[in-house]
Amino acid sequence: MTFFVSSRIPRPMRFSLSRLTIVCLAGFALSGCVGEDSALVSPASFKIGLEKDPKLLVATTRLPVGDPPKKPWFSSERSADMIFAEARLTPPSDSLLSRVTASDWSIAKVENVERSNAAQAFAQAAFGRDLLLYIHGYKESFETAATSTVDLSEGIKFAGVTGLFTWPSAASTFSYVADRESAMWSRDSLEDLLTAIAKTPSGGRIHLVAHSMGTLLTLETLRMLRASGGESAMERIGAVVMAAPDIDIDLFARGLERLGSDAKKITVISSTNDRALAVSSRLAGGIVRAGAADRERLEALGVRVADASEFGGGIINHDLFLSNKEVQQVVKRAIERS
């Protein structure tokens, strides 16, 4: 299998305010760091990642648990309006004991909750930086979705701001149909979010990574976004990675047709031995899911494909972009290439 190779993404950098000011003033005559509008360097150049700023931006159609939210922070109930919040993270400890026992990131608190202007609040929080936005799949709680988001961002060492769009999955094995309805119910909110971020001046690129059922939500939302705003609405969208897409292959093809030239932004991580998608296919009357289709069939639709079948040595093989580091790098290379 061949993965895509690129080396365009810069190494993460960190500057204190005073140091940045000195650099800009020193380079004024040569580089125009301070221009006529008195702006400093392009805000999109501030790339620090989770290690320097352990914060996860959250947009959700889930109801919060308490006011302010308390663990488990957000429930599986539907919120009438999208909510914005910031999840403050506790990084893994560097101690030897922590490495042997529990070394995962955790949520310390959820703060700065905004209910009335959630999309705009999210856009302002991400202002000027590239954004990695994760849209989770079926059977996910807020906490498991947040953990996956952080694992993905850290796994590829994403240097911008990391965000999560989380819809009200029931987080139950027997909630497949209910989850699908809740995902589709959240389309308008995700469209509002992407529109607000794309319209923010001096913003960076928006990179979307969706998993399983979340890919259907993402594809439908992108269709809506392009239909309402045309090609200009999609200009800020960078990479769109669909990992193990749980989408009827015919529905997937029709969605790509509606996206037109923007379908080229999409990279599909597929696996023909994905057991979860095999079950989904049986529930759908035997129609193959896009994430389990043959590479040639997917490439004929105009998308990039990373066939991860040979890396599926587990029982389920449905989250290889998180559990296998080589597959995870497909996401990084798609972002570098965009």
**Domain containing 240 — which CATH number?**
3.40.50.1820
Distance CA 255, CA 262 (A): 11
How confident is the prediction for the chain on average, in pLDDT? 85
* 179 domain-assigned: yes
- Per-residue confidence at 327, pLDDT binned at 50, 70, 90? very high
pLDDT in tens, 100-133: 444 488 999 999 999 999 999 999 999 999 999 9
pLDDT in tens, 10-65: 333 333 334 333 333 333 333 333 333 333 334 444 557 898 899 999 999 999 99
Domains identified in the chain, total number: 1
The pLDDT score that the predictor gives to residue 255 is 97
* 30 domain-assigned: no
* 301 domain-assigned: yes
The pLDDT score that the predictor gives to residue 315 is 63
* 24 domain-assigned: no
Per the CB < 8 A criterion, the answer to whether 170 and 179 are in contact is yes
Rounded percentage of the chain residues whose pLDDT exceeds 70: 82
Q: The domain containing residue 243 runs over which residues?
A: 44-337
pLDDT in tens, 241-284: 999 999 999 999 999 999 999 999 999 999 999 999 999 999 89
* 98 domain-assigned: yes
* 277 domain-assigned: yes
Cα Rg for the chain, rounded, in angstroms?
20
* 23 domain-assigned: no
* 209 domain-assigned: yes
